[in-house]
Amino acid sequence: MSSKLHPIETPLGDRVSDAPSNNWVYRVLPRWLWPYAQLARWDRPIGWQLLMWPCWWSAALAPQAIAPSAMATGLPMLWHLALFLVGSVAMRGAGCTYNDLVDERIDAKVARTRSRPLPSGRVSRAQAKAFLVVQALVGFLVLIQFNLFAVVLGIASLGVVAVYPFLKRVTDWPQLGLGFAFSWGALMGWAAYWGALAPPALLLYAGSILWTVGYDTIYAHQDKEDDALVGVRSTARLFGARTKQALAMLYGGAIFCFLCACLLTEDGAAGPSWPAYAGLLVGAAQMLWQIRSLDIEDPADCLRLFRSNGLFGWIVFSGFVFSALWSLSFPIPT
């Protein structure tokens, strides 16, 4: 049944309940664009940031697989970073729009999501589909700037993205599906630089998957009561009171994979220098803070800690960049 014919009244009017009411969307964009911005989650930038970080990590680590020289500084290519930023915004928006189309009836039954554009009737399904196509085209234009191997690899990710919204209906591990999709950039950054994949990229991908399952479990604790009522499954419901122990294993596994990726990048090359490992140590401390601070019964606290993973992304990326700068300034004698 079309939500446009039976809109759900909400006291928020043209706004959504789970986004800041004073964000830039409402200050800058014309009112007719608000529902589309909400579909793409432009009012919640943490989503595209979390999608972007594995891309940037991989783009920053890949050049360090060879010793710095006049031709190869070890620093990430700024053009690649810019492309991954634009692509992350576009494809995260397309993915959210697709998810909302799939989940419209479920969203209408969950307090946090029933004010979204589709279940509230402010956007029709036809309008949402057209907006999805526009965002996907932007993502495709970004993708074809890379080499052929990276283009094919990027297209392959669409299969994972297509399946993800249905997982919550059939498995307790939908967060794992999100991990496969949201971590694909760990492969893309390496492929964009080398035109191939290597073990460090695969380890970055594995670590990013574990990280994603962890932070999305925290996020899912906001909805666990409503999810139980409507039959939506999640790792938040699966782990329950054991969430902190599960996060320790997930986050610990992520750091271990990132560490191994750095060590393997050194195989036969100069590889990352000490700032990369220092970044991982600081990142591990930030993850430990998340686990110790978490109150799974406090939705606001869950949202706060979920968003803090944007800081974790900066920590790891900064470590990789400073690693390259250190190697440039203090090269290892050969």
Question: What does R_g of the chain's alpha carbons equal in angstroms?
Answer: 20
**Which pLDDT tens digit goes with each residue over 151-174?**
999 999 999 999 998 998 899 999
Render pLDDT for 292-327 as a digit per residue (tens, 0 to 9): 999 999 999 999 999 999 999 999 999 999 999 998
Q: pLDDT at residue 3 above 80?
A: no
Long-range contacts, 98-103 (Cβ 8 Å, 24+): 98/132, 98/161, 98/162, 98/165, 99/164, 99/165, 100/39, 100/128, 101/125, 101/128, 101/129, 101/132, 102/165, 102/166, 103/165
Distance CA 134, CA 145 (A): 18
Are the C-beta atoms of 48 and 88 separated by less than 8 Å? yes
Q: Model confidence at 228, in pLDDT bands (50, 70, 90)?
A: confident
Residue pair 19/38 in contact (Cβ under 8 Å)? The answer is yes
The answer to whether 17 and 111 are in contact (CB under 8 A) is yes
CA angle 33, 34, 37 (to 5 degrees): 90
> What pLDDT sits at residue 20?
67
CB hemisphere CA count around 217 (13 angstroms): 31
d(CA 197, CA 65): 12
Contact 222, 299 (CB under 8 A): yes
Name the residue ranges covered by the structural domains of the chain. 36-329
Residue type at position 111: A
Half-sphere exposure of 297 (CA within 13 A, CB side): 1
Fold of 36-329: Tetracycline Repressor; domain 2 (1.10.357)
The DSSP 8-state label assigned to residue 270 in this structure reads -
The identity of residue 88, as a single letter, is S
